[in-house]
Structure 1
Amino acid sequence: MNTPLISPQIASSDSEPMIISAVSHSSQRVTLRHSHSRGQLLGTLQGLISIEAESCQWVVPATHSVWIPPNVQHSLLRSHGPFEGWSIYIQKNACTKLPVKPYILELSDLLREAITRTMSWHNSELEPEQKRLIAVILDEIRTMPQVELALPMPKDMRLLKIALALSDNPSDNRKINDWGVWAGISRRSLTRRFTNETGFNFTQWRQKLRMLKALELLAAGKPITEISLYLGYDNISGFISIFRRNFGVTPGNYQKAMINRLSWRNFTNTTIRNDNHINSKLTK
């Protein structure tokens, strides 16, 4: 079990307009439910994360981020694979015009670059241009539309066990009967509860999970054939067809579009120095 990126006490302080943190772990990361008086925008540089906020549980890819308003209970259920994460904590009085419910937003190019810029700040007092950049970040959070990309997680502990196992290994092609035996739940209950708790049947949920993982791997520049095999597809044409049906473009075209965002990887080199190291900056 891991502690939050910064302590809830620091995250509840109100002296600095923004606190920026980054952390890297060679293994999965889990944090307990907690809250703080600041709003929080968090995401990863690679991998999927399972987030719980209020009554919602989602699987979120590295191409997106999670907005958590002030004083909302939340936890990182699990990072799936090595974890490289970032988070910005926004002063409570600056959150009055921001969304009052947790939601998922895509990392726009502008928001991505603005966050990257803040990670290079070293001065203790904010310059006028830095204050304007913080205002840009707030505007992006406020105006970016909510997306339906994130995948709801089931709440039943038996179903959650299955969902987390698939998140760790999306290529697992066990049939629904086998999953039921493994988790100790009947096929009928598994089928009914999965749909009731996530809005998707089991097959749809697994397919959407694989598509989220595909987005991350494509953004990382992995070959499409390799991605297809990793996600458990028997042939690349089937993977391409399902991807295009979900996102309206082929995996190849999506990957080309992501090339322009490769500067985000510089974030890793400039802010995350060593394994298990937290780098936090207070902007005053």
Structure 2
Amino acid sequence: MTYSTDPNDYQRVPVKVAAMAKDFPPGHVVGEHVHERAQLVYAVSGVMRVTTRDGTWVVPTHRAVWVPPGEPHQIRMSGAVAMRTLYIAKDATASLPSRCGVIEVGPLLRELILAATDHPPDQPDPTGRMALIGALVLVELRSVPVMPLHAPLPRDPRLVAVCRALIDDPARPEGLEAWADRVGASARTLARLFRAETGMSFAAWRQQTRLIEALARLAEGQSVSLVARDLGYDSASAFTAMFRRTLGSTPSRYFERLE
């Protein structure tokens, strides 16, 4: 049976947790939009980048991003993406995060998501199976770990100029002194603002931005050496060392584990 792939059809259904399955071609962009319900965006395969006004989250295979109700966001696909989305009623999100975040999808939550997509949310549930699945999904979401796959965006216009330039070209090597001259602030001021508005140092923020871009490119099949070079690393080994420190394994093992 073919079910709707229009998100609007899942916003006012009679169940707390509704699920939609939809596949996207490489490079597809879902422009900025907003949902009445909260959204758990899960990648069965492929990598997505979800961007809000507060930053960008990268969503590799077997990860998901949590988007609170009413949060404007954009989704960009890296490679072909099999997306499975849960739409969760606003009145069921009181104990769930109020801000976006990437979460680990373990075996149980994964199977619950896939099971939920097998039943159209506007159809009767005489056995109560879907209600139980939805209730267990909510229990799981309260305890899943948050992953370090986020690059927050600041508000200060001087920092925004720096961050936008690095998002467009993560390999740029300039330090804070060079950026300070360009945006009309001292390096000390920029360093203080980075900590205050992103919770990270400038160097940590730039590394996180490079990691997000690297995950998207690796998911598209680019080689580690090409990604390392394009993102400004002196060697593939230097890039691999950063990757291992942040995510706990080499790029090849990371994607093998996801698969």
* TM-score of the superposed pair, with normalisation by structure 1: 0.67
Give the aligned partner of residue 280 of structure 1: none
Q: Matches of 1:190 and 1:80 in 2, distance apart?
A: 32
Aligned to 1:212: 212
Question: 1:88 aligned to 80, 86, 96, which one?
Answer: 86
Q: Which residue of 2 aligns with 1:102?
A: 99
Higher mean alpha-carbon deviation, 245-254 vs 212-221, is at 212-221
2:58 alignment partner in structure 1: 61
Q: Distance in 1 between matches of 2:80 and 2:190?
A: 30
Residues 28, 81 of structure 1: 8 Å contact kept: no
Taking structure 1 as reference, are residues 230 and 127 closer, same or farther at Cα in structure 2, changes over 3 Å only?
Answer: farther
Give 1:220 shift: 5.3
TM-score (norm 2): 0.73
Unaligned 5+ runs, structure 2: 1-5
Superposition CA RMSD, Å: 3.6
What secondary structure sits across from 1:143 in the alignment? coil
Q: Distance in 1 between matches of 2:106 and 2:173?
A: 34
Distance in 2, matches of 1:80 and 1:166, equals: 20
- Distance change in 2, residues 1:112/1:160 (3 Å): farther
Deviation of the 1:168 alpha carbon: 4.0
Question: For residue 151 of structure 2, what is the amino acid of its counterpart?
Answer: L
Q: Structure 1's 157 and 27: CA in aligned 2 closer, same or farther, altered over 3 A?
A: farther
> In the alignment, what sits opposite 2:253?
253
1:88-121 CA distances to partner (integer Å, 9 max, x unpaired)?
Answer: 211244435x425325222324323432343344
Superposition pairs for residues 134-283 of structure 1, below 5 Å? 134-177=134-177, 179-180=179-180, 184-188=183-187, 189-218=189-218, 222-259=222-259
| Structure 2 residue matching 1:225: 3-state secondary structure | helix
Point out the more displaced range, 14-23 or 195-204.
14-23
Give the distance between the partners of 2:181 and 2:28, measured in 1 at CA.
28
Deviation at 1:238, TM superposition (A): 0.7
* Aligned match of 1:267: none
Query: Residue 42 of structure 1 aligns to which amino acid in structure 2?
Result: V
Query: Comparing both chains, which one has the higher relative contact order based on Cα–Cα distances under 8 Å and sequence gaps of 6 or more?
Result: 1
Contact 1:243 1:249 in 2 (8 A): yes
Q: How far has the Cα of 1:192 moved from its partner?
A: 2.8
Identical aligned residues as a percent? 26
Residues 120/165 of structure 1: CA separation in 2 closer, same or farther (3 Å cut): farther
Q: Give me the whole-angstrom Cα distance separating, in 2, the residues matched to 1:171 and 1:81.
A: 19
Q: How many residues align?
A: 243
Residue 19 of structure 1 pairs with residue 18 of structure 2: yes
Deviations 1:62-86 (CA, angstroms, capped at 9, x unpaired): 134333445xx42226748789665
1:111 has 2:112 as partner: no
